[in-house]
Structure 1
Amino acid sequence: MTKQQPPKLPVGPVDTLAPLLARLDAADRLPAARELRNLSYGLLGAARSVVDVGCGAGRAVAELTRRGVAAVGVDVDARMLAAARTRWPDADFRAGDAYDLPLGDRSVDGYRADKVFHELAAPDRALAEARRVLVPGGRAVLAGQDWDAFVIDSDDPALTRTLVHARADLVTAPRAARRHRTLLKDAGFRDVTVEVRTTVLTGPDALPFVTALARTVADTGAVDAERAAGWIAEQRVRAGQDRLFAALPMFLAAGEA
């Protein structure tokens, strides 16, 4: 699920992505994640041709294709595109980014961007590009998490708050998801709707997500490594006792071009 505008990564063997792909696959298999993907497909309405921007390893493109949709996956990361093509050899994957899609004017009737807009410094440019490739009346769907609103139960709520906000500060636009509705309306989309679903993570399955958050923050020096390690240890105990709890609101907005 690598999204638009991260630092360019060197192209290497697909198997160097194995740990990341394993984490993404684990996240995609969560029932809440499947529900959100299906909801985003439904919000595309009757679209029969869709561009999935920031397609990553291509799961959504494959699922849309199985639904009879002519889906095109676009991503900036050449390694992710290689993985997607290996996994789904019959699907259509192309290099490109949210500001410069490899599609003609008015060439698709659906636009989907899942966990993309928090990586964009200029979302208005991305939505102008969305309008360029959409036919009149085409549907755009934006989905993503609010990085500032990650809820994690802990015996140290102050440290947890610091970790969550420090992680959010590493994101280009951590609060972009709460602006999806406004962004679509400002770009001229009509009949804009917004829905919120909360992804709940519990037990051992949630442990990789919360520990990755703490490790990422510790690597920046924003939180002392020893304090982060102690927090991770607490979460491991919670996971072993089935007491780990995390919740993340996911925002889905849709509109008509």
Structure 2
Amino acid sequence: MSKNQEAADERRDTEALLAVLDAADETPSAVRLRARSYELLSLVPGSTVVDVGCGGGRAVAELAGRGVRAVGVDAGPWMLAAAQSRWPKAEFRDAEAEELPFADNSVRGYRADKLFHLLKEPQRAVAEARRVLCPGGRIVLVGQDWDAIMIDSDDAALTRTIVHARADLLATPRAGRQSRDLLLRGGFADVAVEAHTSVFTDPAMLSLLARLAEPACAGGAVDRARADAWLAEQRRRAETGRFLVAIPFFVASASA
């Protein structure tokens, strides 16, 4: 595959992912979850807060609107370009979670949302968060539990197979439930964890199910015919108002 083709594929995948994120982020439960994460940061006006794995940049813009210097960090060039285009006045940096472009003890808040399941060594990212946070600074990790995604379906066994097969393809699929332990082992204090469940009934979230089924099918966990039948059932549910997906999120917070 040529570099141009790889870039085009990456751009298309980024656009597809952004469409899923946008649909989810606009739901009332997601709005409440983001607001809760900002509350747990204990924002100090004028201080620097970094949003690691910032994606499309929505949280960066919202944090800046709360009176802090918000900086979005992401390692995906197409994602960063999209974020900068959407929020031209916001500040973004190209960097990995394990190597942040900030001096020691230089930021007051650290936030990562739907990121740690992508990291092979999340403990390294926690150590880097500890490095850049000033004494008393706050860290908030928001992560979904990929093993526990709930989807209403006529075929519960196949649904479990698809959900678990997709989870097993991720670097650290259970990072959400592990976030408390990650912070404790990282030397943080006042570690607390909450569980929130987001419920989606909007047909716009059908694209999420395709992102579950396609990798599970490609990995050989289910055959093409069964995956197609499962997705067809979900489309019928969406057309008749019977579609439901529920995703548990863990929100872990602590002080440096």
Do Structure 1 and Structure 2 share a fold, with TM-score over 0.5?
A: yes
Other-structure match for 2:215: 216
Q: C-alpha displacement at 1:206, in angstroms? A: 3.1
Once residues 38 and 98 of structure 1 are traced to their aligned partners in structure 2, the CA distance between those partners, rounded to angstroms, is 22
Other-structure match for 1:34: 31
Structure 1: tracts of 5 or more residues without a match: 1-8
Q: TM-score, normalised by structure 1?
A: 0.91
Distance 1:252 1:153, change over 3 A: same
Q: Quote the sequence identity (%).
A: 57
Q: C-alpha displacement at 1:11, in angstroms? A: 5.2
Once residues 134 and 11 of structure 1 are traced to their aligned partners in structure 2, the CA distance between those partners, rounded to angstroms, is 34
Alignment of 1:1-257 (within 5 A): 16=12, 17-47=14-44, 48-257=47-256
Distance 1:152 1:224, change over 3 A: same
Mapped contact 2:50–2:70 kept (Cα < 8 A) = yes
Once residues 154 and 11 of structure 2 are traced to their aligned partners in structure 1, the CA distance between those partners, rounded to angstroms, is 38
Distance 1:230 1:14, change over 3 A: closer
Once residues 218 and 27 of structure 2 are traced to their aligned partners in structure 1, the CA distance between those partners, rounded to angstroms, is 27
AA at the equivalent of 2:33: L
Q: C-alpha displacement at 1:219, in angstroms? A: 2.5
Q: C-alpha displacement at 1:14, in angstroms? A: 10
AA at the equivalent of 1:40: S
Once residues 136 and 234 of structure 1 are traced to their aligned partners in structure 2, the CA distance between those partners, rounded to angstroms, is 52
Once residues 118 and 13 of structure 1 are traced to their aligned partners in structure 2, the CA distance between those partners, rounded to angstroms, is 22
Distance 1:13 1:238, change over 3 A: closer
What SS does the corresponding residue of 2:218 show, helix, strand or coil?
helix
AA at the equivalent of 1:19: A
Q: Please, which moves more after superposition, 54-63 or 207-216?
A: 207-216
AA at the equivalent of 2:66: R
Q: C-alpha displacement at 1:19, in angstroms? A: 3.4
Once residues 12 and 208 of structure 1 are traced to their aligned partners in structure 2, the CA distance between those partners, rounded to angstroms, is 20
Q: C-alpha displacement at 1:203, in angstroms? A: 4.5
Mapped contact 1:12–1:79 kept (Cα < 8 A) = no
Aligned alpha-carbon RMSD (Å)? 1.8
What SS does the corresponding residue of 1:64 show, helix, strand or coil?
helix
What SS does the corresponding residue of 1:34 show, helix, strand or coil?
helix
What SS does the corresponding residue of 1:172 show, helix, strand or coil?
coil
Structure 2: tracts of 5 or more residues without a match: none
What SS does the corresponding residue of 1:24 show, helix, strand or coil?
helix
Q: C-alpha displacement at 1:173, in angstroms? A: 0.6
Q: C-alpha displacement at 1:90, in angstroms? A: 1.3
Mapped contact 2:11–2:78 kept (Cα < 8 A) = no
AA at the equivalent of 2:76: D
Residues 100-119 of structure 1: CA deviation (Å, up to 9, x unaligned) = 00111111110001111111
AA at the equivalent of 1:236: R
Q: C-alpha displacement at 1:216, in angstroms? A: 2.6
Other-structure match for 1:3: none
Q: C-alpha displacement at 1:220, in angstroms? A: 2.5
Once residues 255 and 21 of structure 1 are traced to their aligned partners in structure 2, the CA distance between those partners, rounded to angstroms, is 29
Mapped contact 1:148–1:164 kept (Cα < 8 A) = yes
Mapped contact 1:120–1:173 kept (Cα < 8 A) = yes
Q: TM-score, normalised by structure 2?
A: 0.92
